[in-house]
């Protein structure tokens, strides 16, 4: 089901690539500019390696590293040079992109937001999300105020973006599915102790909601911290379709056939949890059979 790990694309399918980008130590505007340039280079490299790619996903902290610095000089804005660079490369390469920034909080005057950006193949900001669940007690980010991020991605596929620790809450994936998401994107900066929980939740979120999950973390070390990589594509039955490793800057790809989600959600009886949660025991309750027939 992976299209030979994204090398083939069938009608109705899309190819998503994820990049386990190198963990950097970012302390100055110069460091930030270097990291941004590195990410845009990886967009070009990934598109060459997987020409059928429709969308490229980068990890949380891809240009800020794991230091948790909140210095104003290295915080980003939606109209700043970092986001402009992401827009330019997506337009030039004709590919969708998902990127991470630490965003200045000019509204609440509080700590910055941890934000994920979705940029389309025309170079426009298609959607963005602010992480709702900072990793307690480590992360200093202001909790997100934009709710679950659901958008229409390449090929008309409904997608949602969550960030790292968000994925440990089943409610986040379920809410995304209730809003119509067929693919759940999860970006992270996780370190190796989380690897087992990472796989468990990625697979469970997929199976429990009959959706694809596409997940990627940073990789490598900045001399202090070490990230785990562990890119992972899971199918709607919770099976791992493509699995990454811990190599920095390595890209992995997979074909996503969204009809596999739509078919299961429409026709499955057993384990169609999205439907059954609201229609418990429908085969034994008067009136519920009519609802099922309408649904199918």
Catalytic residue annotation: 60, 131, 164
Distance CA 263, CA 267 (A): 6
The per-residue b/e assignment along 219-241, b for 16 or more CB within 10 angstroms, e otherwise, is bbebeebbbbbbbbbbbbebeeb
Contact in structure between 191 and 228 (CB atoms under 8 Å): yes
**Hey, which bits of the chain come out as E strands?**
13-20, 53-57, 96-103, 113-119, 125-130, 149-152, 158-163, 183-188, 212-217, 219-221, 226-228, 232-234, 240-243, 250-257
- Taking the CA atoms of residue 95, residue 182, residue 199 and residue 167 in that order, the dihedral angle to the nearest 10 degrees is 90
Distance CA 84, CA 81 (A): 5
Other C-beta atoms lying within 10 Å of the C-beta of residue 145: 11
Other C-beta atoms lying within 10 Å of the C-beta of residue 203: 19
Distance CA 287, CA 281 (A): 11
Distance CA 247, CA 281 (A): 47
Distance CA 52, CA 7 (A): 7
């Amino acid at each position: 089901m992976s299209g030979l790990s994204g090398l083939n694309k069938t009608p109705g399918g899309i190819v998503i690539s994820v990049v386990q980008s190198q963990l950097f130590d970012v302390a100055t505007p110069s460091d930030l500019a270097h990291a941004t340039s590195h990410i845009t280079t990886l967009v070009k490299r990934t598109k060459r390696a997987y020409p059928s790619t429709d969308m490229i996903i980068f990890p949380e902290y891809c240009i800020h590293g794991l230091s948790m610095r909140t210095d104003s000089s290295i915080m980003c804005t939606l109209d700043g040079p970092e986001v402009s660079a992401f827009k330019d490369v997506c337009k030039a390469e004709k590919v969708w992109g998902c990127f991470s920034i630490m965003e200045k909080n000019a509204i609440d005057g509080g700590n910055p937001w941890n934000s994920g950006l979705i940029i389309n193949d025309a170079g426009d900001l298609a959607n963005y999300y602010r992480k709702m669940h900072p990793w307690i007690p480590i992360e200093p980010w202001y909790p997100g105020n934009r709710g679950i991020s659901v958008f229409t991605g390449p090929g008309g596929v409904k997608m949602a973006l969550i960030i790292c620790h968000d994925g440990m809450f089943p409610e986040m994936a379920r809410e995304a599915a209730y809003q119509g998401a067929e693919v759940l994107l999860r970006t992270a900066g996780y370190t190796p102790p989380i690897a087992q929980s990472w796989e468990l939740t990625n697979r469970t979120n997929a199976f429990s909601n009959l959706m694809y999950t596409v997940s990627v973390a940073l990789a490598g070390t900045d001399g202090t911290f070490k990230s785990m990589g562990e890119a992972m594509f899971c199918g709607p039955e919770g099976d791992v379709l493509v699995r990454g490793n811990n190599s920095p800057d390595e890209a992995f790809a997979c074909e996503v056939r969204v009809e596999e989600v739509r078919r299961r959600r429409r026709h499955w009886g057993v384990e169609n949890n999205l439907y059954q949660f609201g229609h418990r025991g429908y085969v034994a309750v008067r009136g519920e059979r009519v609802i099922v027939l309408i649904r199918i």
